[in-house]
Amino acid sequence: MSLKEYQRKRKFQETPEPKGKAAEAGKNRFVVHDHYAEHAGHHHDLRLEMRGVLESWAVPKGLPEKPGIRRLAVQVEAHPVDYINFQGKIPSGLYGAGKVKIFDKGKYQLIDRLGDRISLILKGKKLKGEYHLIKMKGRKNQWLILKTK
Ligand code: MN
């Protein structure tokens, strides 16, 4: 995904978020943001450094911390790699308005990525272990995230 949609949705004179540009080769980092959104309510955002951007999913109930739990993950626009350290308050009235904090971050190891399924190992402080993101058939941006071990 390119950053066009990310940039189109934001007013960079008004938001503290980075404008960003696509970066070179990834370091396989991830971040989970705690987003206290005025519109959508509190949710987590999972962002994986992949192909020069942060591929992003909004996870309304947060990532599972134990095996056997599936959670909805809605894919959203890719974010710039600079966003990996972003914390702040997006002003009221702007896209994504509300406080953003880092819930967890670290590296991940990609096990494999086969079209509609991404398998990886998260190596965060809170989130550790094997996770799978599986795209739901016939749904535009809806995926499931589950933990296996
Ligand atoms: Mn969000």
CA of 68 relative to ligand 1 center, distance in Å = 24
CA of 108 relative to ligand 1 center, distance in Å = 20
pLDDT tens for 93-124 read: 999 999 999 999 999 999 998 889 999 999 99
Say what the pLDDT of residue 24 is.
65
CA of 77 relative to ligand 1 center, distance in Å = 10
Query: Over 90: is that where the pLDDT of 149 sits?
Result: no
CA of 46 relative to ligand 1 center, distance in Å = 9
Share of the chain above pLDDT 70, in %: 96
CA of 41 relative to ligand 1 center, distance in Å = 9
CA of 116 relative to ligand 1 center, distance in Å = 22
Q: What is the mean pLDDT of residues 117-140?
A: 95
Query: Over 70: is that where the pLDDT of 25 sits?
Result: no
Is the distance from CB of 98 to CB of 38 less than 8 angstroms? Answer: yes
Residue 42 CA from chain centroid, whole number: 14
pLDDT tens for 48-105 read: 999 889 999 999 999 998 998 999 999 999 999 999 999 999 999 999 999 999 999 9
Report in angstroms the alpha-carbon separations of 133 from 19, 37, 41, 143. Answer: 27, 23, 22, 6
Q: What is the mean pLDDT of residues 18-28?
A: 77
CA of 100 relative to ligand 1 center, distance in Å = 8
Is the distance from CB of 95 to CB of 86 less than 8 angstroms? Answer: no
